[in-house]
Structure 1
Amino acid sequence: MAGIRVGVHWSVLVIFVVILVGLAGGGFRDAHPDRPAWQYWLASGVTAVVFLLSLLAHEISHALVARRNGVSVDDITLWLLGGLARLKSEAATPGAELRIAGVGPLVSLVLGVLFALAAGLLAGFTEAGLVVGALAWLAGINILLAVFNALPAAPLDGGRLLRAIVWWKTGSPLRATAVATTAGRVLGWVLVAVGLYLVLAGAVFSGIWLAVIGWFVIAVATAEGGQARLREMLSGIPVSDAMTPDPVTVPGTTTVSEFLTDPRYRYRHSAFPVVDDGDVLGLVTLKGADNVPETERATTTVERVMVPVGDVPTPHPDDPLARLVPELQANSTHRALVLEGKRLAGIVTSSDISRVTSWLSSSSVWRSRTL
């Protein structure tokens, strides 16, 4: 959609079922009694689908604005607690961060207003009672989504807005992240506490759901805080300090059978750059090659099963290592091909990042930088 991959996690089925059963078995039936059962189920099913599309519109807006501000988007995934647009890198300026974060709640708010207007226009038609009820529910849930996401706490959109403001005021994106993630952990614990209170008060389902959301907010905010500290630790370190120079490469014409049986490739690493006359074509993994049926391995080249170079981070040796970290985390291979012009200079893996951070953590260099 709009050139962006969209995925659906199996847990989305939980959202669909909860909305379907909740509206068909209670909400719509109580508000509009004495209707045929199929009408309740049909209206509830359509409402659930439109709500999921509303979540998708929210995330698509983030992705589109991110691309307009020079931030690449890996994909969008809908799951149990809403949606997630995975960005390959961070915004370069507070203004870009503000635009990327702010558009999501704005889209949800606009959708809520549009659904409310549509419900108001149809309210005069007695035969449209279920339709009005569905539109009113969609209006309320989208406005609630906009308000909740605007709360100034990471990982919510409001946390990104808070980060942008603190970044603009202080000039420090790391300090801004620390403020936003601290607010996120506070909000998460508040939600957990309120959820537990609701459980004790008898509202078991609502309480558990709120506690789960709070725990998710705490976990993600804590993870973002850890990533910020990692970027601070790696500040000033170039990619060349972490990369493995002149890695073993695989010619693109090599068959999968040759690749899997050649000791040069089988026992040293789990992924190798693919080249053709010095040009870097991509990255082939042992796992990807193993997935090729044995009957096809002798006739299938690694070029056909590799990850194209366009789908792998390609930093320059002098690029900041801190900037590469989120790209590695978002990339499915967790590797980067370091290019100097068109020449392959090296390869960086998540293990290389861990090695550098371990050295910095234990060295007097890191301790002196933090004093």
Structure 2
Amino acid sequence: MRSSISLGRVGGVPVGLNISVVVIVVILVIGLAFGRFPIAFPGLSTAAYVLAAVVSALLFLASLLAHEVAHAIVAKRHGLEVNGITLWLLGGVAELRGEPRSPGADLKIAGVGPLTSVVLGGLFALVSWGVSVIGAPPLISGMFGYLAAVNVLLAVFNLVPAAPLDGGRVLRAFLWARWHDRLRAAVAAARAGRVFGYVLIAIGFLNLVSGLSLQGFWLALIGLFLVNAATAEEQQTQIDAALHGITVGEVMSRDPVVAHPDETVAGLVDRLVLRHHLSTYPLRDDDGRFAGLVTLGRVRRVPPDDRVITRLREIACPPSDVPTARPGDQLTELLQRMSGCTDGRAVVLDDDGHLVGLVTPTDISRTIQTVDLRAHEPYRTPRGADLAPPPPGDRTPGGPSSGGSAPGGPAPGGTVPPAGRRDAA
């Protein structure tokens, strides 16, 4: 989930809004200003209801952000990297890189989100009581009371033991500790999430046919998201387990066809594209160092008339934006970084920064299809803590966090692989 609007950084973590978050604000403002507040506190002006609704919506988003920041802080304390936090249509996304090294760490990272929501619920309830005691208008007290209830409801919903909700992470931690098998625990939690998603879809459909169209639609949407996220999480878990122990050097395409940064797009097309039929062309400068990556998609975006004057360096992904690895790196760690302008490609460099290979989606697909054919199972499926990353300082595979909520009630958190795992609410 990409941010459309940057909100800066919180604790060094980039925070942003996806444009879809506007839907949350619109639904909340309309529902509160023209529904809940006028019914509960009649006799006030429309402007008063709208103002209270806008403030409630903004504080609700702030609550979601606090929920995700709590996940991020605890994750960083346990050695995981946090790529960013994004608020979107169904709540919040905390994008983490790394896996907890123990069931206890997994439990802490998952549980702090709902705990934060409960604490916020208590604070809003205290504020609601306080403003009523000092004689403030009932609408103000009711506004904070609503936020208190929503935060508690968010915490309760997220504790349902079904991945990718926070409760699914808690279930995974419990089963991991009980079975000493993280893979089995993760798959069980993901399957529980899929079942719960189907239940929500069924309830949403019943609400739709019963005339509760908006509530039914929202439940069905959340259920569909849960089913898709849980299914993707299970598949990603099994892929990570299958690829565990395989290095980048075993997968990469060696001696890739290269081009010079100053070559024109037309020259590349005539010299290489029409002859080799490849989709990826690394650039190498006069010193033999990697200077960027050009994909066929980026070539196609150059108008035909401009190809004779456009240099490859002008359309290439710069080296700083291209995922890189060493031949001895773990493939599972690289997979979490293969996103962005390279369209799922990565380059492999030696210790001197010279290009020695490429990793493309075709290489990954071929490896997945043949991994079970390896003789004598040289890469045993990991169990328990074997799947956890090495100590801080080493490269670690990507992994999820969770939490969040949806307007009018909580919505799920989830992981959406590949290219790093994300948890949404």
TM-score by length of 2: 0.75
SS in 1 for 2:246: coil
Separation (CA, whole Å) in 2 of partners of 1:304 and 1:228: 35
Separation (CA, whole Å) in 2 of partners of 1:332 and 1:96: 33
Structure 2 counterpart of 1:208: 217
Q: Is 1:318 matched with 2:328?
A: yes
> Which stretch shifts more, 289-298 or 343-352?
289-298
Separation (CA, whole Å) in 1 of partners of 2:92 and 2:369: 34
The structural deviation recorded for 1:280 is: 4.2
> Which stretch shifts more, 3-12 or 273-282?
273-282
Q: Is the 8 A contact 1:188 1:215 kept in 2?
A: yes
Tell me the number of residue pairs that the alignment of Structure 1 and Structure 2 aligns.
365
Q: Report % sequence identity.
A: 44
Q: Is 1:65 matched with 2:71?
A: no
Structure 1 counterpart of 2:32: 23
Separation (CA, whole Å) in 2 of partners of 1:225 and 1:164: 15
> Which stretch shifts more, 76-85 or 177-186?
76-85
Separation (CA, whole Å) in 1 of partners of 2:80 and 2:300: 33
> Which stretch shifts more, 54-63 or 128-137?
54-63
Separation (CA, whole Å) in 2 of partners of 1:92 and 1:278: 40
Which residues in structure 2 correspond to 1:100-119 (within 5 Å)? 100-119=109-128
The structural deviation recorded for 1:217 is: 0.7
Q: Which amino acid aligns with 2:119?
A: V
Q: Which amino acid aligns with 2:370?
A: W
Q: Could you say which structure has the higher helix fraction?
A: 1
The structural deviation recorded for 1:229 is: 1.9
What's the Cα RMSD here? Answer: 3.2
Q: Is the 8 A contact 1:105 1:149 kept in 2?
A: yes
Q: Which amino acid aligns with 1:157?
A: D
The structural deviation recorded for 1:215 is: 1.6
1:49-73 Cα shifts (integer Å, max 9, x gaps): 2212221222233233333333333
Separation (CA, whole Å) in 1 of partners of 2:93 and 2:310: 39
The structural deviation recorded for 1:25 is: 0.5
Q: Which amino acid aligns with 1:354?
A: S
SS in 1 for 2:136: helix
Structure 1 counterpart of 2:176: 167
Q: Is the 8 A contact 1:87 1:330 kept in 2?
A: no
The structural deviation recorded for 1:180 is: 0.7
Q: Which amino acid aligns with 2:238?
A: R
Gaps of 5+ in 1: none
Structure 2 counterpart of 1:328: 338
Structure 1 counterpart of 2:245: 236
SS in 1 for 2:256: coil
After superposition, the Cα gap between the structure-2 partners of 1:280 and 1:61, relative to the gap in structure 1 and judged at 3 Å, is: farther
Q: Is the 8 A contact 1:74 1:88 kept in 2?
A: yes
SS in 2 for 1:123: helix
SS in 2 for 1:30: helix
Separation (CA, whole Å) in 2 of partners of 1:70 and 1:314: 21
Structure 1 counterpart of 2:158: 149
The structural deviation recorded for 1:348 is: 1.1
Q: Which amino acid aligns with 2:141?
A: V
Structure 2 counterpart of 1:49: 58
After superposition, the Cα gap between the structure-2 partners of 1:329 and 1:198, relative to the gap in structure 1 and judged at 3 Å, is: same
Gaps of 5+ in 2: 1-7, 382-425
Structure 1 counterpart of 2:264: 258
Structure 2 counterpart of 1:13: 22
Structure 2 counterpart of 1:199: 208
Separation (CA, whole Å) in 1 of partners of 2:39 and 2:238: 52
1:96-151 Cα shifts (integer Å, max 9, x gaps): 33333222222222222211111111112443322211111111111111111122
Separation (CA, whole Å) in 2 of partners of 1:94 and 1:313: 30
SS in 2 for 1:237: coil
Q: Which amino acid aligns with 2:368?
A: T
Separation (CA, whole Å) in 2 of partners of 1:335 and 1:185: 31
Separation (CA, whole Å) in 2 of partners of 1:131 and 1:360: 61
Q: Which amino acid aligns with 2:360?
A: T
Q: Which amino acid aligns with 1:47?
A: S
SS in 1 for 2:348: strand
The structural deviation recorded for 1:330 is: 8.2
Separation (CA, whole Å) in 1 of partners of 2:308 and 2:21: 37
The structural deviation recorded for 1:35 is: 0.9
Q: Comparing both chains, which one has the higher relative contact order based on Cα–Cα distances under 8 Å and sequence gaps of 6 or more?
A: 2
After superposition, the Cα gap between the structure-2 partners of 1:159 and 1:275, relative to the gap in structure 1 and judged at 3 Å, is: farther
Q: Which amino acid aligns with 2:350?
A: E
> Which stretch shifts more, 163-172 or 279-288?
279-288
The structural deviation recorded for 1:350 is: 2.3
Separation (CA, whole Å) in 2 of partners of 1:206 and 1:32: 23
After superposition, the Cα gap between the structure-2 partners of 1:204 and 1:163, relative to the gap in structure 1 and judged at 3 Å, is: same
Q: Is 1:138 matched with 2:147?
A: yes
Q: Is the 8 A contact 1:259 1:266 kept in 2?
A: no
Q: Which amino acid aligns with 2:113?
A: G
After superposition, the Cα gap between the structure-2 partners of 1:336 and 1:72, relative to the gap in structure 1 and judged at 3 Å, is: farther
Structure 1 counterpart of 2:369: 358
Structure 2 counterpart of 1:182: 191
The structural deviation recorded for 1:362 is: 7.3
Q: Is the 8 A contact 2:172 2:185 kept in 1?
A: yes
